[in-house]
Amino acid sequence: MERITALLLALICLNLTAFAQQNPRFSISGSVSTTDGDPVVNANVVLQNTTFGASTSRDGLFEITSIPEGDYTLRISAIGYKPFSQDIHVDEDVELNVTIGQQVEAMGAVMVSGAEIENYKVKGVSPSLRVNEGLISIPQNIQVITKDLLSDQQAVDMLESVSRNVSGAQMIEHWGNFARINMRGFRIPAFRNGMNVQSSWGPLTEDMVMVERIEFVKGPSAFMLSSGEPGGLYNVVTKKPTGQSGGNVGLMAGNSQGHR
């Protein structure tokens, strides 16, 4: 039994040796450097139209092994350097020392064009804040979220990150139904058209389809709406009849079978 096993191993070795002699394999090795003699790191060294390739090491060295005999095109490329190509006939181990130069490309003319962007700037507050001056003349810090901004952000209700448009404001909701906003470390009272609608938990979050704008007043605001909360307040201004006929149609869809 042992003799048979030894004989089989010998036959396998002879077959492998004969196959290797009939199908010799060679290697291509060498280095890639710049015209200043510095090694080119991570350059791609490939034989075109084959799967043989390698990358240069920190010293700029490379080696491609197990290459069958034949004619090949060696290509070397690296970012910032001119590509290098050379035809090679492989019938023995090949060693190459390649020098490549830096590639300087001039940028062409750049044309900058712009389009008109949406402007969400407002100059005044709603009459419900009982202030007759423009925003620029009011010493109070007031930020206004317009209906155009709400529409572009596709906000559905007050819980839809409306507070992200106001610095220092955080939405602290209850059970997904009540809108509670904290600002400057205090829970700020909620007003609707100048009327205080704050409740123990909320108020209930408003649907943005009925909202014209949301005004955030920062800091003590008792002189405006008799609200003494140091953090400020927010005032939801609802849409009013315009006396003009018109309308629009839209469709919104989301996960959890959300549609609108």
SS3 (DSSP) at 39: strand
Residues 213 and 216: their CA atoms lie apart, in Å, by: 10
Residues 68 and 230: their CA atoms lie apart, in Å, by: 82
For 151-178, the pLDDT digits (tens) are: 888 888 887 778 888 888 888 876 778 8
Matching fold, domains 23-100 and 127-240 = no
Q: Which two tokens stand for residue 199?
A: 């409740």
The type of residue at 65 is: T
Contacts of 222 (CB under 8 A, 6+ apart): 228
What residues of the chain score a pLDDT lower than 70? 1-23, 116-118, 174, 222
Number of residues written out for the chain: 260
The type of residue at 52 is: F
**Beta-bridge mates of residue 81:** 102
Contact assessment for residue 124 and residue 134, using Cβ atoms and an 8 Å cutoff? yes
- Helix (H), strand (E) at residue 104: none
Tokens 């100048």: give the residue.
Answer: 194
Residues 238 and 199: their CA atoms lie apart, in Å, by: 19
Residues 102 and 204: their CA atoms lie apart, in Å, by: 66
How many beta carbons lie within 10 A of that of residue 43, not counting itself? 23
SS3 (DSSP) at 168: coil
Q: Which two tokens stand for residue 27?
A: 């290697």
CATH 3.30.565.10 for the 23-100 domain, yes or no: no
**Beta-bridge mates of residue 54:** 45
| Residue 209: per-residue pLDDT | 87
- Helix (H), strand (E) at residue 152: helix 147-152
Domain ranges of the chain: 23-100, 127-240
Residues 198 and 227: their CA atoms lie apart, in Å, by: 11
Q: What is the CATH number of domain 127-240?
A: 2.170.130.10
Find the DSSP H helices in the chain: 2-22, 147-152, 222-225
